[in-house]
Amino acid sequence: MSQRPIELIHARNLMASISTPAFLVDGEATLVFYNDAAGSLLGRRFEETGPLPADRWGQEFGPVDPGGGRSPIDELPLTATLRQGRPAHARFCIHDHAGEPHEIDLSAVPIVASESEGFRGAMAFFWRVADGQGGSP
Amino acid sequence: MKVKVWGARGSVPAPGPETMRYGGNTSCLQVTLSDGTPLILDAGTGIRTLGLACPAPMNQFPILLTHLHLDHIQGLLFFAPSFQPENNLTIWGPSAGEASLEDRIARYISAPLSPVEVRELPCHVSFRDSPTTEWEIGPARIQAASVTHRGPTLGYRITDGDESLCYIPDHEPVLGGPLDECDPEWISGFELAQGVDLLVHDCQYRDEEYPTHVGWGHSSITDALHFCRRVEARNVLLFHHDPLHSDEMLDAVGELAAEYWSDHGGDPSVLTMAVEGAELEVTGAALSPRPG
């Protein structure tokens, strides 16, 4: 497999170093990494799932409506970020590996390299609404 | 390919009696390609003495800059060929969104830091962003790739016939995660350096110094060697010495490096500590010192 762009390597390093749940998606919308904090919430560590293409991570983790039914993936802020290259934020539900729904706030931010290299992917940071501002201070 | 070290020091020039053997000039390598084309890697203060040694005029001077920290460009203003109107300098370097390569270099070669402006240099000078795709200079194919350091920073791989050299003087690959645990695709610089005949790599910090310098963009000696092992470099030139490291300290670093390499089943003769003025020949199989 070819070398990841340095911007994604840096983003992964940031995510691996923090306790804010976060995941990293490349320019083809493949989920290429999520950190241990996200793994705790999702019920599976990244080392267990490995990279997931867009259709797989949607199936794996949602989004779902408050009743547990599927929500359109088009409504995800990460989808807006990937398609339009802009930051996006939303509150919605995901489900963990055991099927348990969690209401989360999620902010997605595009990763744009220099002008000649362009769009690299996106970072998404999220936290459970039940946890308030998210994480321990 | 022939390699000459004109400056092996990092961060800031370190002249003085304690650094006379390894030298005090900052990063600059001359690579002479198979057809005699000279390629200059970085323009630290070592490029000043390189310029003085050039027969005038040489006409074409391709300079590949890894990044624009002062220890990699400081010598540009004192490079004698740039004051000869018959010469052509082509300076390649990392692109950045906010300003062109020329404008960023001109922040140094302009008032109040310099008495001369870029536009006043008598030679013809052109600035080019190093492309993300391979390109050619003389008989060599050049690859550039971003690597982990502070600010936009490139490493270069130069392939001339069957011989290859990779130059990553400022590099902190371990920031991406423990090198033992990372898949190659997540290791900064891996693809660029993989299987290269000669890898010129950052070795700025002794292991005990590194914990207080995490994130500064440089390698500990153990991390540098670990990276070199992971990419299976055939020969290694340890480079970018800390300005606080005396000749005696660098001798000790070299001994530690040889010990580490042996402990991991390698032949320590493939490791060389960069010494200002040293000349090496990359043969494709081994590195041989050239009579100086």
Tokens of B186: 């997540």
Instruction: Answer whether B173's CB lies under 8 Å from B148's CB.
Output: yes
The residue among B58 and B109 whose pLDDT is bigger is: B109
Mean pLDDT (whole number) for B83-102: 92
pLDDT of res. A126: 93
Contact A119, A111 (CB under 8 A): yes
**B186 chain-A contacts, CB cut-off 8 A:** 4, 9, 12
A12: nearest CB among B186, B190, B191 = B186
Kindly state the average pLDDT of the residues B224-241.
97
Average pLDDT for B50-57: 84
Digit-coded pLDDT (tens) for A8-50: 999 998 998 889 999 999 999 999 999 999 999 888 899 889 9
Identify the bridge partners of residue B168 per DSSP, sorted by sequence position.
Answer: B201
Q: Which of B2, B62, B58 is nearest to B32 (CA)?
A: B2
- Residue B207 scores a pLDDT above 70: yes
What is residue B98's predicted lDDT score, i.e. its pLDDT?
Answer: 75
Task: Please report residues of A whose CB lies closer than 8 A to that of B149.
Answer: none
Residue B161 carries which side chain, given as an amino acid letter? G
Amino acid at A93: C
Residues of chain B above pLDDT 70, percent:
96
Q: pLDDT for A54-88, tens place per residue?
A: 888 877 787 877 666 777 777 788 889 999 999 99
- Among A2, A12, A115, the residue with its CB nearest the CB of B176 is A12
Report residue B288's pLDDT band, with 50, 70 and 90 as the boundaries.
low
Q: What is the pLDDT of residue A96?
A: 85
Is the N-terminal amide bond of A63 cis, ω within 30° of 0? yes
Report the chain A residue with the minimal C-alpha distance to residue B97: A114
CA distance to B100, B110, B286, per residue, from B210 (Å)? 33, 35, 31
Average pLDDT over residues B199-223: 95
Does B194 reach chain A within 8 Å, measured CB to CB?
A: no
Q: Choose among B243, B232, B228: nearest CA to B195.
A: B232
Q: What's the pLDDT at B292?
A: 39
Distance CA B118, CA A87 (A): 39
Question: Cα separation of B113 and B290, whole Å?
Answer: 38
How many angstroms separate the CA atoms of A57 and B229, rounded? Answer: 35
Give the integer Cα–Cα distance in Å for B220 and B202.
8
Q: Which two tokens stand for residue A32?
A: 């290429």
Amino acid B291: pLDDT: 42
The number of C-beta contacts closer than 8 angstroms across A and B is 46
Q: Convert B95-110 into a string of H (helix), E (strand) and C (coil).
A: CCCCCCHHHHHHCCCC
Between A88-102, B23-37, B220-234, B243-257, the lowest mean confidence (pLDDT) is in A88-102
Distances, alpha carbon B49 to alpha carbons A27, A29, B24, B29, B226, in Å: 45, 50, 12, 11, 33
Residues B242 and A3: their CA atoms lie apart, in Å, by: 29
Radius of gyration for the alpha carbons in chain A, expressed in angstroms and rounded: 14
Amino acid found at B7: G
Nearest alpha-carbon partner for B147 in B164, B133, B168: B168
Please check the confidence at residue B140 and state whether its pLDDT lies above 90.
Answer: yes
**A16 contacts B145? CB cut-off 8 A:** no
Question: What pLDDT is recorded for position B286?
Answer: 54
- Residue/partner pairs of A68-77 with CB below 8 Å, 24 or more apart: A68/A95, A68/A99, A68/A101, A76/A106, A76/A108, A77/A106, A77/A107, A77/A108, A77/A124
CA B42/CA B6 separation, integer angstroms: 10
Provide mean pLDDT across the span B65-75: 97
Place B58 in a pLDDT band, splitting at 50, 70 and 90. low
Average pLDDT over residues B246-272: 97
Using DSSP's 3-state secondary structure scheme, residue A86 falls into coil
Chain A residue closest to B133 (CA)? A117
pLDDT band at residue B289 under the 50/70/90 scheme? low
Q: How far is CA B256 from CA B76, B203, B260, B261, B271, in A?
A: 34, 12, 6, 9, 11
Strand-by-strand arrangement of the A88-95 sheet: A31-34, A22-26, A119-128, A101-112, A88-95
Q: Does position B25 have pLDDT exceeding 90, yes or no?
A: yes
Gap between the Cα atoms of B59 and B80, Å rounded? 12
pLDDT tens for B255-264 read 999 999 999 9
For residue A114, the chain B residues in CB contact (below 8 A) are: 95-97, 152
Do B25 and B276 meet the contact criterion of CB atoms below 8 Å apart? yes
- Model pLDDT, residue B75: 97
User: pLDDT tens digits, residue range B167-185?
Assistant: 999 999 988 778 888 899 9
Note the pLDDT of residue A118. Answer: 84
- Cβ within 8 Å, pair B186-A2: no
Residue B228: what residue type?
Answer: C
Candidates A9, A26, A30, A32, partner chain B, best to mutate (most B CBs within 10 A): A9
Chain B: give the shortest CA distance to residue A60, in Å. 24
Quick one: pLDDT band at residue A108, thresholds 50, 70, 90?
very high
Q: Say whether A114 and B191 touch across the interface (CB within 8 A).
A: no
What's the pLDDT score for residue A132?
63
CB contact under 8 A, A6 and B186: no
Report CA B223 to chain centroid distance, whole Å: 17
Q: Looking at residues B248-259, what average pLDDT do you find?
A: 98
**Across chain B, what does the average pLDDT equal?**
93
In chain A, the N- to C-terminal Cα span, in Å, equals: 38
The answer to whether B80 and B106 are in contact (CB under 8 A) is no
Q: For residue B28, how far is the Cα from the chain centroid? A: 6
Predicted TM-score of the model (pTM): 0.88
Which residues in B lie closer than 8 A to residue A5 (C-beta atoms)?
146
